[in-house]
Amino acid sequence: MTKLLSLLAIFGTLLITNAFTNTNINTIVRSTCSTSNSSNRGSPSSLHMTILTANGKKIDVKEGTPLKAACAKLGVKPKYSCQKGDCGSCTITVGGSRIKACVGKVPPMPKLKSLQEKGLEVRG
């Protein structure tokens, strides 16, 4: 919302003064947008994807998505019993970590470049 208001303020100023040509307006808008986007990199609203692999199939999943939905997309079918994470029958391995699929979330993408390219292996 603040981005929109700042862009409207810039356009309003430019239209009132008529001091700039069209190319200058485009340059100002581009620089304003790129500056505001770079400040939002660490915000929780930015989109971070994790690559998950199983049985030769690769999918991109938003980090924090329920692991149950990601497993369904991959074709991995863990066994469910309690649906609350108490029994542990739905525990699967994601990139070497054991996570309960019924209550777990997709982990963030690893920092290692080799794992980023291959993706996290999911084993049920």
Q: What is the pLDDT of residues 73-110, one digit of tens each?
A: 999 999 989 988 899 999 999 999 999 999 999 999 99
Structure-token pair, residue 11? 């356009």
pLDDT in tens, 10-44: 655 544 444 444 444 443 434 444 444 444 444 45
Structure-token pair, residue 43? 């915000």
Instruction: Tell me, rounded to whole angstroms, the distance of Cα 40 from its chain centroid.
Output: 13
Tokens 């200058």, residue? Answer: 24
Please give the Cα distance from 37 to 41 (Å, whole number): 7
- pTM of the shown model: 0.59
Helix (H, G, I), strand (E, B) or coil at 17: helix
C-alpha distances in Å from residue 98, one per residue of 8, 95, 120, 122, 124: 49, 8, 12, 10, 10
Structure-token pair, residue 93? 């391995």
